[in-house]
Structure 1
Amino acid sequence: MGDLAVDAAVTGGDGRYTAELSPEWDAWGPNGGYLAAILVQAARAHSPLSRVASVSCHFVSVGRFAPVELEVVGLRRSKRAESVRCSMRQDGKPIAEALIWLTADHLDGLRHDAATMPEVPGPEQLRSFAELTSDSDPPPLAMWNNIEGKPLYWPEDGESVTPGRPYYGAWYRFPAHTTDDVARQLVLLDVLAWGSAWSAHPPDSGYIAPNLDLNVQFHRPAAEEEWLFGEGTADVAEDGLIGFRTRVWSRGRKLLASGSGQLLCRPDPSIPR
C-alpha cells in the first residue's frame, strides 16, 4: 500500500533532486496530484519557507514508474514569501512543470471566512467503495488501493447509471496515514476533476480526460484530520476541453484547499472503435 510521505519523497540539494515514481499511484499513468506533490517536496527542500500557498502545475508528458530528475529555480524571495519554478524530467524528457509560492508560517493579515460546505452525511453514514462494488466489477486503478472513499451517491444493484449534473462528492481517507497534508489534498483535488465530469455522461461515453493542469490555493492545514470531504464540478465541456473546480473540506466544515484546471478529452482505449 502506498504512503505519500514515502512515495513523494525527494533526495538531493542545491536545486537538483531525484525521486522515484511509484506504481502505487497509477491512474492512467502517474496521478497528476502525486506528481505535483513530488514537485512541492522539491520546492520545500530548496526553500527555507515550508508553508505552501499555491501551486500551478502543467502535466507535459506521461512518466514511467522509474526515477525522475527535479530542478528547482528560485524566482524571488523575501522574508515572507518565495516563488520557485520546479521542473520534472525523466531521461531528459519533460514530465511536469510547476510554479510554487511558499510563505512563512503564522503571518499577520486580514481574516474572514465566507466558505460554506454543502450539507452532506458524515463518512460513518455512508458505504465505502469496497462495500459498494462486487467481485465482478473491473479492478480499480492502483491508486485507489491507497485511498478509502465513501461517495455521496452510488447506483444500487441493477440500477442503470443515469447521467446527472457534473458534480461529484465523497469522503476520503488514506489508510497509510501521512502527515503530509499538502500531498493528500493535491491528490484529491486532481482526481475529483474527472469524477465530476464523468458524472454527467454514461460510462460508455467513449472518452477519458486526463488533466492538462492543476492550479491550487491552500487555505489552511488539517494534518490531524483522518477524513476529508472532496467535491468537484465540471460545468462546461466543449471542443475537447472540460473545465473543473475542486475543493477539499475538513470534518469541521472548514475549506482547506481549492483547485481548478482543464481536462483534455481522449478516446478511451478500452472501448473498441
Structure 2
Amino acid sequence: MSDTQTPEQLVAGLVRLLTVTRDGEDAFSAPQQPGGVGRVFGGQVIAQALQAAQATAPEGLEAHSLHAYFLRGGKEGVDIAYATARDFDGRSFANRRVVASQEGKPILNLTASFQRPEDGLAHDDTTMPDVLPPEELKPDMEQRRAMVERMGDRMSEDQRKFVLRPRPIDMRTNDKLHWMNSEPRPPRAHSWFRTCAPLPDDAALHRAVIAYASDYTLLGTSALPHGLSWMRGELVGASLDHAIWFHRPARADEWLLYATDAPWSGSGRGYNRGRIFNRAGELVASVAQEGMMRKRVRKEA
C-alpha cells in the first residue's frame, strides 16, 4: 500500500481484499494483500473464509459463530483457494465448513454456524470497561512511528515498512500493548477500533471486518506478563485457533471497544479472550484464541 492513500482508498482496498470470487458452486478465491510481505495476516484468512461461508448460507440466515484452526502459515504473493462444504441446512440453523488452501495444501479450517434471527430469552451479564473514549486517545500509528524512532538501526528496513504500513483499521489503545514497553504488566488490554472511512451497508461485510480486526492485539495480550514482544524480536509465535461469537449486529465503521485478557500461558502457548462492545456498552461479540508463544533463542555468533 502507498502511504499516500486516503482513508477512503484504504477502506476500499480492505473491501476488495475481503470480497471473494466464486470459482464454482462452492469454490471461491480472494485477492492478495497489495504489497504484502512474509506471512499472511491470520485475520485476513479468517475473514475471507467467513465471506466464502456467508456466500453459500441459506437466504435469511446470519452467521452467529465461527471456529477456525490455523494449520500452516499462509504466504503473501500466493493465491488462496476457499472450498466450502454445506454440512447442514435446517429451518433455524445451518452450518458451513471451509478449507483455505495455498498451492494445494490447507492452511486453515473454518466452521461457521448460521441462524435465522429470532426473539428469545435475553440477558447480558457483562459490563463494558470504564476506559477513555477514542477521541481522547492517540492513534496507534503515532505510537508505531515513535517506536521505530526509538529502535533505530535495531529494526530492519522490512520491519520498519511493516510497522509503518498504512492500515484501514484505526486503532486507539488505552493501555500499553506488548510492543509499547518492556515492563511486565497484567494481561489485560483495551483498544478501540473502526475502519478509517465508512463501509457499505452490508451486514455480512461488517461481520467479516470485525473478524479481520479481532486478530489484532489478541495474542499479544498473553505476552504482557512477560514484558516481551514479537516486534522487538524477543518472541516466536503463531495463532493456533480462533473463535468468534456474534451476539448482535454491529457496524465496523463505528467505534468498537476490544477488551482482551489472557488468563493463562504455558507449555509454549498463550490463551486469550476478547469482548467487543459498541459505544452504547452492549456486548456485540466474544472472541477466544490460543497461540504458540516461545521466547526466541538467540544464536551465538
TM range, smaller chain: 0.7 to 0.9
Once structures 1 and 2 are overlaid, which stretch shifts more, 65-74 or 171-180?
171-180
Sort the Cα spacing of 1:177 and 1:64 in 2 relative to 1 into closer, same or farther, 3 A.
farther
Where does structure 1 differ by over 6 angstroms across 4 or more consecutive aligned residues?
A: none
* Alignment-derived partner of residue 287 in structure 2: 259
Identity of aligned residues (%): 24
- Distance in 1, matches of 2:209 and 2:165, equals 12
Deviation track 1:56-87 (CA, whole Å, cap 9, x = no partner) reads 00111112223211111111111211111101
More helix by share: 2
How far 1:229 moved relative to its partner?
0.8
Deviation track 1:100-152 (CA, whole Å, cap 9, x = no partner) reads 10122x31321222221111110011112233342615535477622222111
1:146 counterpart = 2:178: no
Question: How much is the aligned-residue C-alpha RMSD, in angstroms?
Answer: 2.5
Give the count of matched residue pairs: 267
Sort the Cα spacing of 1:127 and 1:223 in 2 relative to 1 into closer, same or farther, 3 A.
same
- Distance in 1, matches of 2:35 and 2:134, equals 24
> Structure 2: which 5+ runs fail to align?
1-9
Pick one of 57, 70, 76 that aligns with 1:59. 70
- Distance in 2, matches of 1:216 and 1:36, equals 10
8 A Cα contact 1:166 1:235, kept in partner: yes
- Distance in 1, matches of 2:25 and 2:44, equals 23
Sort the Cα spacing of 1:190 and 1:25 in 2 relative to 1 into closer, same or farther, 3 A.
farther
TM-score, L = length of structure 2: 0.80
How far 1:205 moved relative to its partner?
7.9
TM-score, L = length of structure 1: 0.87
* Alignment-derived partner of residue 201 in structure 1: 226
Deviation track 1:238-262 (CA, whole Å, cap 9, x = no partner) reads 1101111112111111111111121
> Structure 1: which 5+ runs fail to align?
none
Sort the Cα spacing of 1:167 and 1:131 in 2 relative to 1 into closer, same or farther, 3 A.
same
Pick one of 110, 129, 150 that aligns with 2:140. 129
Pick one of 103, 117, 136 that aligns with 2:128. 117
Pick one of 201, 216, 219 that aligns with 1:191. 216
- Distance in 2, matches of 1:30 and 1:122, equals 31
- Distance in 2, matches of 1:194 and 1:96, equals 17
8 A Cα contact 1:59 1:95, kept in partner: yes
